[in-house]
Structure 1
Amino acid sequence: MDIIHRLERIPVSRFHYKLLVLTGLGWLFDAMDTGIIAFVLPVLAKEWGLSATQMGFIGSMGLLGMAVGAVLAGSAADRFGRKTVFSVTLVIYSVATGLCGLAWNYESLLFFRFLVGFGLGGELPVAATLMAEYSPPASRGRFIVLLESFWAAGWLAAALISYFIIPRYGWQMAFFIGALPALYVFFIRLAMPESIRFLMDKGRQQEALAIVGKIEQSAGVESVVQPAAMSNTTVEPAGTKVVFKELWTPRFAKRTIMLWIIWFGIVYSYYGIFTWLPSLMVQQGHTVIKTFEYVLIMTVAQLPGYFSAAYLVDRIGRKATLAIYLAMSAVSAYFFGQGGSAEVVLLWGSLMSFFNLGAWGVVYTYTPELYPTRIRAFGSGWAAAVGRFGGILAPTIVGYMIAGQQGMEQVFTMFTGVMLAVAIAVWLFGEETKGRTLDEISS
């Protein structure tokens, strides 16, 4: 029995949940930083006298950094390892977040936001790749969606920091708190294993054997040590240089196109909506404190969205779950944009968060499944990078729409159209991967 088959036969155990928490905390810190900038923007706009267009550029600059980081980190993770790149990118965005608290003008903040985005964009696809490569096939979707659920916890932390810290200690302190995750790297280096598939791909069989043996022991599974365990026919040979054009070979072109459409649309809608949400609500007449309370409630609604998607993704499949959640997110966004009483805004805003973030969990499940080990992080990184360009456009476009005297109704109607288009693309062109091993899917 070869190493990969030994890994995949291990049932869900304490090891898998430990890895989920290790990668999930990194995800939580990412979301905390992304959320903090959304809550800081309305305060900063008042203090620095920023226009709507300038506010949009602050949001877009972070996304530009994420696009660059996703491509470079994805390639680096396939070359140097998932664990190493995860740690390095975590340090980069943590330190850069602290520097945002030292920003002395608009231009310096833009530069620091680019560095923050670079680290964030590099970490997310790498963490998802690592979790996918360790998860049992029958539970892989559930684990990746649960990993993504840490994003909601991070936004919740950002909302709490903004609610309690910014009014009392200023926006700078919120950024300084966002620098603390850098300390987490020391724990990651000790507790997180390298990807078995990566080690096999690089010819490091002894290291892979040692890790699999420890996981088997912790799960109470009898180790099967045979000569065949020293070779793995399911992983492609190491040493072949990864090139961009491989994503466009007949084997992967359709998958690449579909993933790029999904990523562009979901990132465009998410960052366009949630980067601007506190500011848009302030412009509708809500106070800053009341706005933070509303967004905090909407953020809490993300958690059941993730958990419901985690339940469905391994039962009805990736394709159906993703298409349904995107379509319902579109419907919720439309009615949220129509405004109304505080109760109506909270209802549709919460449903929008529920379905949009549930869809995100499925996207992070789906993406690494569609590429083989040798280019898994590379392909996932490129898909994420294309998405980040959607995120770059969205905050800026919303800024221009607001500057052009267009209101919430027009803004959210636009996002409704985008999400519906992506839902249709998933339904028409998506390939179901539920319950299949990574090697079966990528062959």
Structure 2
Amino acid sequence: MPAGQAAAAGTTPGQIVARIERMPGNAMHVRARLLIGLATFFDGFDVIVIAATLPLLIAQWSLSPAQVAFLIGAPAFGQLLGTLLFPALAERIGRLRTIGWSAGIIGLMSIACGFSTSFEMFAALRIIQGLGLGGELPVAATYINEVTRAHGRGRFVLLYEVVFPIGLLVSNAVGAWLVPRFGWEIMYFIGGVPLVLLFILPRAVPESPRWLAERGRLAEADAALAVFEARAKGPLPPLDGERDYDALMQKHPRRSVKDLLGRAYRGRTLAVWMLWATCGFIQYGLSTWLPTIYKTVYHAPLQLALNLAAAASVLGVLGSLACAMLVDKVGRKPVINVSFLLCALSLGLAGVFHDSSLYVVATFCALAMGLLASGFITAYVYTPELYPTSIRATACGFGGAWLKLGAIVAPTFVAGTIGSGKIDHAFLALALVPLLTAVVVHRLGIETKGKVLEQLEA
């Protein structure tokens, strides 16, 4: 049957899956990755922008340590709601419309933050912005996984996801250059760019064919997939295995949210929740505090503190790129476990040598952030692979909720240790978290590399 020419009545869910699995990466995949990647890039940019602007905000509004901790953690309250609301919305109205709305909230609230005149106003806007920040990542990861075939899926998805740590890097690097020269507001005006995606994304990229097929909208799934197939170079190979996929999909019942903790998925879910909680705890408990730690604990000048934090982001990008090259060869679980074990070691060494020079501590922190990034980015390909299409976005959202819970707890914890002068306690406590998670993922997680998503259903 020629690509995209199946009559709606003759199209089956298994045929949609078979067509996805025979389709190599093409120009439409690239367009989707670039446009959705823009949203994910600015998700990372806006998440970490507080690190570069915080020293000036502390001085401008005379913030107490408790206020600083709240300012860092405030967006996580919105993100916690957004990471549950938007994935649920994506199951109902589609992946692309949901990504567009979340990107619009990110951009609009970032611009509004640039006009803030008080701590209270700024914190409120960041909470609202958190709705979009929390909702974009899990739905975007779901979409990219669903339009990608099993062969090379890890590399394809992670080369898209690497834009998140690149966003962290650019935010730190641009902030280190712009903030001392133009003030903190400029960073939030730049962060308004995702607003344009609200208007162009659903018109420029097709909806997920897997989601459409799962909803019974087979004619639309056929048409969406035909847009991808039209951009493929050369003739596509004959369809293979569509009857097997239909039989496989009929074998498994349609899942609901309660199945996340049911017998079939309980182990996977606990491993995923630990994985995401760890990423949130370390990311927000360390990276957002790094410039302030370097400036207040080690008395580094502002420019040096910002530069050292930016250097840690460089290792985050390098770690993510290395992960993308390895994840389809060695598997998801080994990458996560090794990355987290070495991250724990680096944080432990930062605690042991906390009274050494600034550069020794900064080196261990940079290594920890680079290793965390490797495990963190793998979560974006690993989590969607573990669940069926009917609950995939929702499952990613619940994982993201644990990320936000970690983000809420960690800044207050680090603030307390800085205030008491026990920064070594902070590093050592942070080290225990990825260590424990590596054990849980090893024991409860399953390996997913090279398998069609429908083959991974329990």
Matching residue within 419, 422, 429 for 1:414 = 429
Matching residue within 128, 131, 137 for 2:150 = 137
1:359-389 deviation per Cα after TM superposition (whole angstroms, max 9, x unaligned): 1111111111111001100111011112211
Cα 1:235–1:92 change in 2 (3 A) is farther
Distance between the aligned counterparts of 1:183 and 1:157, measured in 2? 20
Preserved CA contact (<8 Å) 1:141 1:313: yes
Q: Flag structure 1 segments of 5+ consecutive residues without an equivalent.
A: none
1:174-202 deviation per Cα after TM superposition (whole angstroms, max 9, x unaligned): 21221122123333233222111111112
Asked if 1:308 is matched to 2:322, the reply is yes
Q: Where do 1:10-89 residues align within 5 Å?
A: 10-89=23-102
Give, as a single letter, the amino acid of the residue that structure 2 aligns with 1:39.
Answer: A
Distance between the aligned counterparts of 1:10 and 1:67, measured in 2? 36
TM-score by length of 2: 0.90
Preserved CA contact (<8 Å) 2:155 2:324: yes
1:336-369 deviation per Cα after TM superposition (whole angstroms, max 9, x unaligned): 3424335434432332222111111111111111
Q: Where do 1:30-429 residues align within 5 Å?
A: 30-219=43-232, 220-222=234-236, 243-283=256-296, 284-337=298-351, 338-339=353-354, 340-407=356-423, 409-429=424-444
Give, as a single letter, the amino acid of the residue that structure 1 aligns with 2:367.
Answer: L
Give, as a single letter, the amino acid of the residue that structure 2 aligns with 1:314.
Answer: D
Preserved CA contact (<8 Å) 2:77 2:130: yes
Which shifted more, 52-61 or 79-88?
A: 52-61
Distance between the aligned counterparts of 1:134 and 1:88, measured in 2? 20
| RMSD, aligned CA | 2.2
Give aligned pairs, total.
Answer: 438
Distance between the aligned counterparts of 1:16 and 1:193, measured in 2? 10
Preserved CA contact (<8 Å) 1:201 1:235: no
Give, as a single letter, the amino acid of the residue that structure 2 aligns with 1:106.
Answer: F
Give, as a single letter, the amino acid of the residue that structure 2 aligns with 1:124.
Answer: L
Report the secondary structure of 1:138's partner residue: coil
Preserved CA contact (<8 Å) 1:371 1:442: yes
Corresponding residue number in structure 2 for 1:6: 19
Give, as a single letter, the amino acid of the residue that structure 1 aligns with 2:267.
Answer: K
Preserved CA contact (<8 Å) 2:267 2:445: no
1:77-98 deviation per Cα after TM superposition (whole angstroms, max 9, x unaligned): 0111000000000001111111
Report the secondary structure of 2:151's partner residue: helix
1:380-411 deviation per Cα after TM superposition (whole angstroms, max 9, x unaligned): 1011112211110001111122223322x221
Give, as a single letter, the amino acid of the residue that structure 2 aligns with 1:171.
Answer: W
Distance between the aligned counterparts of 1:265 and 1:156, measured in 2? 20
Distance between the aligned counterparts of 2:238 and 2:429, measured in 1? 56
Preserved CA contact (<8 Å) 2:256 2:390: no
Cα 1:170–1:313 change in 2 (3 A) is same
1:120-157 deviation per Cα after TM superposition (whole angstroms, max 9, x unaligned): 10000000000011112021111222222101221222
Preserved CA contact (<8 Å) 1:327 1:420: yes
Give, as a single letter, the amino acid of the residue that structure 1 aligns with 2:307.
Answer: E
Which shifted more, 142-151 or 26-35?
A: 142-151
Shift, 1:113, TM fit: 1.2
Shift, 1:102, TM fit: 2.1
Shift, 1:299, TM fit: 1.2
Give, as a single letter, the amino acid of the residue that structure 2 aligns with 1:374.
Answer: S
Distance between the aligned counterparts of 2:238 and 2:327, measured in 1? 31
Give, as a single letter, the amino acid of the residue that structure 2 aligns with 1:215.
Answer: F
Cα 1:402–1:345 change in 2 (3 A) is closer
Matching residue within 410, 427, 433 for 2:448 = 433
Preserved CA contact (<8 Å) 1:200 1:232: no
Cα 1:391–1:89 change in 2 (3 A) is same
Shift, 1:235, TM fit: 5.0
Cα 1:107–1:236 change in 2 (3 A) is farther
Shift, 1:115, TM fit: 0.9
1:406-426 deviation per Cα after TM superposition (whole angstroms, max 9, x unaligned): 22x221111111111111111
Distance between the aligned counterparts of 2:75 and 2:248, measured in 1? 38
Corresponding residue number in structure 1 for 2:4: none
Preserved CA contact (<8 Å) 1:262 1:422: yes
Q: Flag structure 2 segments of 5+ consecutive residues without an equivalent.
A: 1-13
Distance between the aligned counterparts of 1:196 and 1:85, measured in 2? 15
Distance between the aligned counterparts of 2:259 and 2:439, measured in 1? 26
Shift, 1:233, TM fit: 5.5
Distance between the aligned counterparts of 1:161 and 1:307, measured in 2? 21
TM-score by length of 1: 0.93
Give, as a single letter, the amino acid of the residue that structure 2 aligns with 1:420.
Answer: L
